[in-house]
Structure 1
């Protein structure tokens, strides 16, 4: 089923009486506020995600919610559910079984599986966790599967679990066009280093506003799915900890890699709206989907090193997600993405 979203509407919360459906919701675009609806509607809600950084980012923005990831004990969960009139629980796939044990009446809760295409995307290394989540969700009468990624249309009808689940696709009359500037490079990491050096030297990207005024992008966000490659960019550029925000997954190995840069460097967090952003933000796949950046002037650079399979970026899916990360409409650079890549055997065409 396709539902039209009228011109002039930018967020799902602006639609009178809108509710997240019981079934699959292909949002059609990123940044339309579906998770915001889940966190603010009048229903007890569980929001599931496989990306802890997304969960932390939403939890920071909604302090009355409960974040259930590693380290949260059962008593804390039960106490929150019992004392909160409308519980809003943010939980990782891994911690979902623990949460399930704490809920006596499942019928009271709606569940939102945010960015659920990751169940497919992560199947090569996390299939057991995704399948276990789907099986456990069967005890809940109302479940919304959210995504804005085209992979849904291609594969969802081939998955037995979703065959009898209602499918809704939103068709927005107003769609923001994002310009992807594709730059082929024999060495994307060297290209990333040049970008950082330009910013260091005050050679910023500029854009001409409709008013005739030129403005500069004084911050950059670099998406590169390798902590090691991030280290190999930051270290030779001799950046200071005050200028660098490293948004990577929480793990001992990642912390060990970051320590190679030098003293004072550590994993960071995504600033909330109104908080100061650093000049350089480096993100791995933990921040590709759902996270909210509120920079006034950041440009977005996506670096794909195709010679390393585990760091390749699937431009049919990940660019769609990355395009929605900068949330402020006042940022004139949010409609442009610089995609720097190399190729191996095959190359995706412009379309």
Structure 2
């Protein structure tokens, strides 16, 4: 693809250097928020602008009420009314999600509107057509119509060059804005094996400074786990998809929203809000990106696309930005060549099945075989290759590869940011935290794991996470923690992690502690003296009465020999009657 460079100065808007977005171009605007979408909204032509998510459209509609936003809930009839009512009143602007684009196309067909010949189609934040395709195949629904349009373009501050041959066939040009000033933002990179601990640390550092904390983490489950761990239910909001909102509300967390609302002290955002959305605040924000591979591998972030977009959401700027991330050198990754070989082999098999001649029941069998093949996701409805799905497979593996080594993450970040780097490896990690809630562990194995972690924790009492972790483990497995601090690791090992035996041992120890308490010993020594000679039955009654009066939970049989806790003694027989003669005090 041919590449052209266009310079842009500090403070210049997009339309100052490119008055109109040219057709058959992919615009790399380099700088977020410079006004490319604004330029098309105000361009003197009819436009269909495709945005990746609903919040983007809602935000643009508030600023530009002439726009018709099309997403779930907006009908084809609504679009027809818009076209019929406004067509002669100036240039029309329709902004739609990819999933709702078929409604736009249907409305234009029904109103005999020549979308392909008279309208300009703009794909905004175009890298999402590749990055989201793996879990959201519908994002490429408008592509065939896009290539049929005479006037069309893609735009983003972080585009990924697609491999679809139609770009080359139609003579697309990559136009790159090249800033004449230092446009790279700052980013603190913290590589750690304990992301939960470090998020807690940074929360403490920004608390009370007057800047909202915005945490970008693409895992609703991990977000909910953090909220519960930090006990911040009343101090935070979560911005995520509508489905995730429903999931969180089923877990009794009601402060979740699928559209942008007023921010709270702490705010979590999933990928729905990573790009295109304008977050306008009266002050700067503290931005925190989190990648936690132990809980969710899909929390990896591409430094040169997603991280750039995240920092660029804040129109009033960013006070501080940091990315806390873990790595996994064992994470399986494939090279581009390996992926291409595998996909080509799968495609060959798919096409062979597709070409099998069949009739009647045979056609159903062939259809079932095709439907069951995973490669079906990589094909378009017309049987052609879905190039965006192939690009997605390449892109996923490219990003995963970075997170096998912290240095690879740092190198990639350095392409788009000025970075400061820190490394914090701790004695207990996110993986250890995961083991504590591992449902596959048998009770004895879980007990052994808890003891191991508590031993490590006690050897690192100066660690700033010591009290947080001890409290967290206590809340998860209170009986095991109590047993550890009551008996110690060696005694628990001696009982082979058997909770029943350990429970009995703890009760016995507690009884022993009560029996030797100052109050009980005072009672014994007030009533009994060295040299006393008492019948065994009297000593038995004395010990039973002592245990009853002081409420000591003694579970074993009470005998006269228990007087040995307090005195040395010897058995004496006189006229066939057994006596106990008390010797020197022991306590």
Relative to 1, partners in 2 of residues 1:270 and 1:247: Cα closer, same or farther, differing over 3 Å?
same
1:47 to 24, 46, 49: 49
Structure 1 residues 294-347: Cα deviation after superposition (integer angstroms, max 9, x where no partner): 22131110001123222222223211211211111xx461xx420100000122
Separation in 1, partners of 2:194, 2:62: 37
1:231 to 224, 227, 232: 224
- Give SS of 1:233's match: helix
Q: Shift of residue 57 of structure 1?
A: 2.4
Normalised by the length of structure 2, the TM-score is 0.51
Check the 8 A contact 2:287/2:318 in 1, yes or no: no
Counterpart for residue 267 of structure 1: 257
Q: Shift of residue 47 of structure 1?
A: 1.0
Check the 8 A contact 2:122/2:153 in 1, yes or no: yes
Which piece of structure 1 moves more, 104-113 or 187-196? 187-196
Counterpart for residue 75 of structure 2: 73
Check the 8 A contact 1:247/1:269 in 2, yes or no: yes
Separation in 2, partners of 1:227, 1:65: 32
Counterpart for residue 313 of structure 1: 301
Relative to 1, partners in 2 of residues 1:131 and 1:255: Cα closer, same or farther, differing over 3 Å?
closer
Counterpart for residue 180 of structure 2: 173
Counterpart for residue 154 of structure 2: 145
Name structure 1 gaps, 5 residues minimum.
Answer: 203-215
Separation in 2, partners of 1:229, 1:93: 28
Check the 8 A contact 1:255/1:267 in 2, yes or no: no
2:236 to 235, 244, 249: 244
Check the 8 A contact 2:14/2:36 in 1, yes or no: yes
Equivalent residue runs for 1:270-285 within 5 Å: 270-271=260-261, 277-285=263-271
Check the 8 A contact 1:235/1:261 in 2, yes or no: no
- Give SS of 2:32's match: coil
Name structure 2 gaps, 5 residues minimum.
Answer: 330-403, 412-587
Normalised by the length of structure 1, the TM-score is 0.83
Counterpart for residue 121 of structure 2: 111
Identify, as 1 or 2, the structure richer in strand.
1
Relative to 1, partners in 2 of residues 1:132 and 1:74: Cα closer, same or farther, differing over 3 Å?
closer
Equivalent residue runs for 1:175-190 within 5 Å: 175-190=182-197
Check the 8 A contact 1:11/1:33 in 2, yes or no: yes
Counterpart for residue 280 of structure 2: 294
Equivalent residue runs for 1:23-62 within 5 Å: 23-62=25-64
Cα RMSD (Å) of the superposition?
2.2
Separation in 2, partners of 1:332, 1:286: 20
Counterpart for residue 339 of structure 1: 323
Counterpart for residue 246 of structure 2: 255
Separation in 1, partners of 2:174, 2:140: 20
Check the 8 A contact 1:9/1:174 in 2, yes or no: no
Equivalent residue runs for 1:116-135 within 5 Å: 116-127=126-137, 129-135=138-144
2:315 to 309, 327, 344: 327
Check the 8 A contact 1:234/1:261 in 2, yes or no: no
Relative to 1, partners in 2 of residues 1:100 and 1:337: Cα closer, same or farther, differing over 3 Å?
same
Separation in 1, partners of 2:64, 2:309: 22
Counterpart for residue 213 of structure 1: none
Check the 8 A contact 2:10/2:179 in 1, yes or no: no
Relative to 1, partners in 2 of residues 1:268 and 1:134: Cα closer, same or farther, differing over 3 Å?
closer
Counterpart for residue 350 of structure 1: 410
**Residue 18 (structure 1) aligned with residue 9 (structure 2):** no
Separation in 2, partners of 1:50, 1:196: 30
Separation in 1, partners of 2:82, 2:246: 31
Relative to 1, partners in 2 of residues 1:64 and 1:227: Cα closer, same or farther, differing over 3 Å?
same
Separation in 1, partners of 2:188, 2:210: 16
User: Using CA pairs below 8 Å that are at least 6 residues apart, which structure has the higher relative contact order?
Assistant: 1
Number of matched pairs: 320
- Give SS of 1:124's match: coil
Q: Shift of residue 261 of structure 1?
A: 4.6
Separation in 1, partners of 2:30, 2:238: 29
Check the 8 A contact 1:4/1:173 in 2, yes or no: no
